[in-house]
Amino acid sequence: MLGIDFGKLRILIVDDNPHMRRILRTLLNSLGVREVYEAEDGASGLEAFNHYAPDVILVDWAMPILDGLELTQMIRQQDGNDNPFVPIVMLTSHSERSRVMTARDAGVTEFMVKPVSPKSLYLRLLNIVANPRPFIKTAGYFGPDRRRNTQSNYAGTERRRGGKANAVRQSKLGDKVSV
């Protein structure tokens, strides 16, 4: 693993399982993250997001009140909050392709299947910091570019059709970490 200092990142964990929150907090602390905030459901997660202004959110899919998808969609509303660009990592026990696609289409930045390993968490954080995805705004979507492969000659079934997509400028999270 690369020697990256995540010490300046503020991370919010939104999960209804206290054991999972404790595991994630421990893993984040072991990676050098000092500011870790927790919320036990989507509604308190939205409050914590507005209060703490985290740099990254780790959110469980299945929660009471607001689930992870609903929380993501609320955060991605450009007029609804101060930072609709915040990277969101969706955590779930389900890895079906349809779930990954649904999360992606809701505006999730990264997807992680439980149980979470230290390496998988590190790689997601590294990807968020070192390879930030541009944000796209179309008539029906605002969030990180859903395409990992940005070949201009791509002709597959996921090829963007129709209206124009605009890249939206955002601040760099990489300025908060040091190598």
What are the residues whose beta carbons fall under 8 Å from the beta carbon of 39, sequence distance 6 or more? 12, 13, 14, 45, 47, 48
What domains are there in the chain, each with its CATH number?
10-176 (3.40.50.2300)
Model confidence, pTM: 0.84
Cα dihedral across residues 53, 57, 61, 64: positive or negative: negative
What is the tens place of the pLDDT at every residue in 117-176? 999 999 999 999 988 888 888 888 888 887 765 555 656 665 555 555 555 555 555 556
